[in-house]
Amino acid sequence: MEHALVAEGIRREYDGTIAVDGVSLSVDRGEIFGLIGPNGAGKTTLIRALTGTTDAEGSVTLLGDAADAVDDARIGLLPQSFSPPDRLTPRELIDYYGDLYDDRRDTDAVLEDVGLTEAAETWYENLSGGQKRRACVGITLVNDPELLFLDEPTTGIDPAGRRSLWRLLESLADRGRTIFLTSHSMTEVQRLADRVGLIQAGSIVAVGEPTDLIAKHGGSSRLVIGTAEAVIEAAKTAIEAAGFDAAGGLEAVVVENVSPVEISAIVEAIEAAGIEYGSLTWTEPTLEDVYLELTGEAFEGVGTPGAGAIDRDGDAVDVSAEEGSA
């Protein structure tokens, strides 16, 4: 497949501190590529290097042309923490940025795309956080770019607004647009990205499809049964008798390699043994586990899909930091 983006040996140093250290990567046309890492990992500097908004060593090819020769109209950039003139309305902002290009999309179509038709005449400063980010994404879409760079596009947006933006990005990808996305939300990248790059201290530590990375580096799914320390050994025995490997922990029994459909068998085993438990937490490996495995550092971003907990009455009691699902 033809590449939309090819970067080789990107390096950027600020006052002796290396922000991006020899990054090489490629993104295929029509692909959503998610770059994930904690704050300060080098995500924004890398986007700036790729879009030519900072000086960096190395070479970048965008849509087949050198980065400094590619037609601006084919590229769209949403910078991190971008804030347009705040006393213009979304309609005026779309018109303003749209008129910077020879060929531009219809204002109403862009407003509809980002769900701001009803708020089209409200000053930017009076929009909600989610509406503001959607307006910014709309500004990025005015020239109907083939390649979009979105630097943390959903930061500060409420969950509903975030999902709405995700759907928009997915529809853009469906229409053949290439999206290079940075985020510190594992949930976001895991949902959106065809491929993921994990960045740590300016270096890419892994690139691949989320499912492949998780399968290779994420470990196994696990069920954690919260119970009194006095009955842990009895619980282990009951679970092992049901055919599962169990290990004791602090006021908990941990069962590895458990699929969702096997949870009921384990619960029945401990209940049949008359053992009371306080909670059940089932987790499947995520990109966060991959990051921990590959870097040795706990990820301090947000969002870990795949974690859920149920109390003995069957009610959900604990989910991931953001919006994971059981």
Among 45, 50, 39, 52, CA closest to 18:
45
Query: Token pair of 320, please?
Result: 């991931």
Among 216, 226, 89, 77, CA closest to 143:
77
Q: Return the range that interacts with another protein (CB under 8 A); candidates 89-97, 109-117, 153-161, 285-293.
A: 89-97
Q: How far apart are the first and last CA of the chain?
A: 36
Which DSSP string do the residues of 48-65 spell out, in sequence order?
A: HHHHTSS--EEEEEETTE
Told to check if 221 binds another protein by CB under 8 A, we report no
Told to check if 53 binds another protein by CB under 8 A, we report yes
Which of 22, 38, 52, 208 is the binder for another protein (CB under 8 A)? 52
Told to check if 126 binds another protein by CB under 8 A, we report no
Residue type, 121: E
Told to check if 122 binds another protein by CB under 8 A, we report no
Residue type, 259: S
Least Å from the CB of residue 195 to another protein: 23
Please state, as a whole number, how many other Cβ atoms lie within 10 Å of the Cβ of residue 102: 8
Identify which of residues 119 and 287 has a Cβ nearer to another protein in the complex: 119
Query: Token pair of 84, please?
Result: 């347009």
Q: What is the C-alpha separation between 26 and 38, in angstroms, rounded? A: 21
The β-bridge relationship of strands 195-200 and 32-36 is parallel
Restricted to residues 239-278, the positions that interact with another protein (CB under 8 A) are none
Told to check if 156 binds another protein by CB under 8 A, we report no
> What is residue 185's DSSP assignment?
B
Restricted to residues 60-79, the positions that interact with another protein (CB under 8 A) are 72-73, 75-79
Least Å from the CB of residue 83 to another protein: 3
Told to check if 42 binds another protein by CB under 8 A, we report no
String marking each residue 1-40 x if it binds another protein according to CB under 8 A: ----------------------------------------
Least Å from the CB of residue 176 to another protein: 20
Which of 24, 39, 59, 83 is the binder for another protein (CB under 8 A)? 83
265 CA to centre of own chain: 34
**Would you tell me which residues interact with another protein (CB under 8 A)?**
48, 51-55, 72-73, 75-85, 87-88, 92, 95-102, 123, 139, 143
